[in-house]
Structure 1
Amino acid sequence: MHDHAPSDSSHPPRNDTGEAAALCHPRGPGGPDHVFLGADHDRNARRTWLVIGITATMMVIEIAAGTVFGSMALLADGWHMATHAAALSIAALSYMFARRHAHDPRFTFGTGKLGDLAAFGSAVVLGLVALLIGWESLVRLVHPVGIHFGEAILVAIVGLAVNIGSAVLLHQGPHAHGHHGHDHGHAHADADHHSHGHAHHHEVDNNLRAAYLHVLADALTSVLAIAALVAGRGFGWVWLDPVIGLLGALLIARWSFGLMRDSGGVLVDFLPRSETLPQKIREAIETDGARVVDLHVWQLGPGHRGAIVAISDADPRPAAEYRGRLAHLGRLSHVTIEVEAV
């Protein structure tokens, strides 16, 4: 049995029976909200909306030009840009929703995972794009179509330029980091025992990664198309265009699977083998005879981890003391400590 510590600081957790508990702080007056958004959340949202604006503008220009000049290549790429903008909107809208509802108590652990939910949806869309490209390439291998090489190359070059610019805006870079971790001590027996660890962490925002992969897939398609079209015009290799299309579809499918695996893992609280935080928690707690008997660690949002730690100790100490041992683990943004006597 674990006593639930009240929200004020006047009633400490009981330890006269060898048991003590410290639970998460409540929301509202007297307790911080559970806001577990990435440090670059707002910046990433602005950049995603900017890329949507660029893409939508290019879409209108291509559709208008295709209609005026009777170019099927321009029309096709213009409508492709429309689907591209729609896919990017998934990321942008999830950023907006997560920020708007960041303080909504109905989200028990905040809205930090909404980006991963959007990323999973985008990964599914990306996988469908790969299937469509693969199918169209197979059809063209069996039933070749005439290609207006000059016009198609021009469209591919313009599309490549737009996608490169968009990819630069959305690229997280090797130093992409999550929010500075805060180890919030929730021992209501002593409000001064809140421990805050500050550290930079290289965290990937899967939502931004999804948007980036969409424009990267388009850029890859443009590069492969340019290579195939140039070779087709120079050597008459009409078959090369659908063959390269198949290769591009396979690569995009691989990206889709990787994004689906990583974002889906966050949604079901799966920790990859590379995650060292559970081991670090055990090492920090298990000193002076204390032993971690139950441990749960999960991702709350980019750069944020939550943990529930059950400790068995022959000489139980206040929960705040055990929490202090975790203060250096900056990614721990929400910690629940339970202590009982051996």
Structure 2
Amino acid sequence: MPHDHSHSHLPQDANARRLLIAFAITATFMLIEVIGGLISGSLALLADAGHMLTDAAALLVALLAVQFARRPPDAHRTFGWLRLTTLAAFINALALVLITVFIFWEAIQRFRTPQPVAGGLMLGIAIAGLVANLLAFWMLHRGSEEKNLNVRAAALHVMGDLLGSVGAIVAALVILWTGWTPIDPILSILVSALVLRSAWRLLRESVNELLEGAPRSMDVAALKRKLGSAVPEVRDIHHVHIWLVGEKPVMTLHVRVVPPHDHDALLQRIHHFLAHEYQIAHATVQMEYQPCSGLDCNLHTLQPASGHAHHDHEHGHTHHH
């Protein structure tokens, strides 16, 4: 399905509104859980409050990033501030990894020196926290804006809180029914492990964008073959570079073609292919009529492991003709 890469303020307004509401909910219940965790002695509640603390900061950073992303491009930042949303997602994911490590450490200390836990108070606060997290997660996860990496980062934080609240409820019930307090740090560790897995994936994805990596779903070798089939005048494709700026794919490529009768029409067909087949609305295409003779013509930087990358260049796409 095509993705919306427009810069209209409507989706950003929706993102900002959802982030603001989620921030207000999260910050309020974070304070409630900190107080409740200290009074009841529950590590599961404090762990969830720790998640909520990073969430409140993460949501605030995400909200600021959405606002900055609205700023128009200028002479110094020709893409505007779109990359700031990726940086915010990276900070959010990193914070979640660090807080999870801290919770693991605290849980180990609890195993060594068990502490009494007030199960009733813990249960009441955990249920209230679950309701708050469900509301915040629903606000962030519905609609097409869930494709936005920055909003996904914020939603991931809230999902961690949601799982933490469920864990705290289970731990409270076990403590009330059996009095077995080790369940408190055990569930804290299980919840943190689930969150850590998702946070690591998000961290990898945001780092890939910051390092100008190609989208993981992009197969450059397949794109070359399909473009050669869709546009018969294409003889060879080289110097392909593709990266993301705030979830917006940007591409540059050199295309050797049969000298066309209508240069602009052929260029338009290539742009149409990229936009409709790969949702690449911003592409810089350099059309050439002579074979590429530079030393770097065979440098297919996005497909270094491809055994047929050099073969494609040397033989072009003559099999289409």
Same fold flag (TM > 0.5): yes
Structure 1: which 5+ runs fail to align?
1-33, 178-202
Matching residue within 156, 166, 169 for 1:226: 169
Matching residue within 210, 215, 237 for 2:158: 215
SS of equivalent to 2:88: helix
Take 1:218 and 1:61, find their aligned partners in 2: how far apart are those partners? 13
The residue type equivalent to 2:263 in the other structure is: P
Superposed CA offset, 1:146-166 (max 9, x none): 101101111111111111110
Superposed CA offset, 1:42-74 (max 9, x none): 2111110111122233356667x76xx966769
Match of 1:162 in 2: 132
Match of 2:309 in 1: none
Are the structure 2 counterparts of residues 254 and 76 from structure 1 closer, same or farther at C-alpha, using a change threshold of 3 Å? closer
SS of equivalent to 2:272: coil
Take 1:79 and 1:226, find their aligned partners in 2: how far apart are those partners? 14
Could you list the structure 1 runs, at least 4 aligned residues long, displaced by more than 6 angstroms after superposition. 69-75
Superposed CA offset, 1:198-245 (max 9, x none): xxxxx8211001111111111111101111121122122211111111
Match of 1:333 in 2: 281
Normalized per residue, which structure has more helix? 2
Matched, 1:271 2:241: no
Superposed CA offset, 1:182-202 (max 9, x none): xxxxxxxxxxxxxxxxxxxxx
Matching residue within 238, 252, 257 for 1:293: 238
Are the structure 2 counterparts of residues 103 and 334 from structure 1 closer, same or farther at C-alpha, using a change threshold of 3 Å? same
Structure 2: which 5+ runs fail to align?
291-321
The residue type equivalent to 2:286 in the other structure is: E
The residue type equivalent to 1:168 in the other structure is: W
Are the structure 2 counterparts of residues 273 and 71 from structure 1 closer, same or farther at C-alpha, using a change threshold of 3 Å? closer
Matching residue within 249, 254, 269 for 1:310: 254
The residue type equivalent to 2:110 in the other structure is: R
TM-score under structure 2 length normalisation: 0.76
TM-score under structure 1 length normalisation: 0.71
Match of 2:112 in 1: 142
Match of 1:246 in 2: 189
SS of equivalent to 2:77: coil
Match of 1:117 in 2: 87
Take 1:237 and 1:72, find their aligned partners in 2: how far apart are those partners? 14
Are the structure 2 counterparts of residues 291 and 39 from structure 1 closer, same or farther at C-alpha, using a change threshold of 3 Å? farther
Take 1:78 and 1:315, find their aligned partners in 2: how far apart are those partners? 64
Take 1:147 and 1:71, find their aligned partners in 2: how far apart are those partners? 5
Match of 1:40 in 2: 11
Contact 2:62 2:88 survives alignment (8 Å)? yes
Paired positions, count: 278
User: What is the deviation of 1:82?
Assistant: 4.4
Take 1:326 and 1:275, find their aligned partners in 2: how far apart are those partners? 17
What's the C-alpha RMSD, in Å, of the aligned pairs? 3.1
Contact 2:40 2:122 survives alignment (8 Å)? no
User: What is the deviation of 1:279?
Assistant: 3.1
Contact 1:37 1:112 survives alignment (8 Å)? no
Take 1:95 and 1:218, find their aligned partners in 2: how far apart are those partners? 22
Are the structure 2 counterparts of residues 269 and 319 from structure 1 closer, same or farther at C-alpha, using a change threshold of 3 Å? farther
Take 1:164 and 1:311, find their aligned partners in 2: how far apart are those partners? 50
Contact 1:319 1:338 survives alignment (8 Å)? no
Matching residue within 49, 52, 55 for 2:26: 55
Match of 2:304 in 1: none
Q: Which moved more, 1:210-219 or 1:270-279?
A: 270-279
Structure having greater relative contact order (Cα 8 Å, sep ≥ 6): 1
Contact 1:36 1:300 survives alignment (8 Å)? no
Are the structure 2 counterparts of residues 273 and 83 from structure 1 closer, same or farther at C-alpha, using a change threshold of 3 Å? closer
The residue type equivalent to 1:121 in the other structure is: I
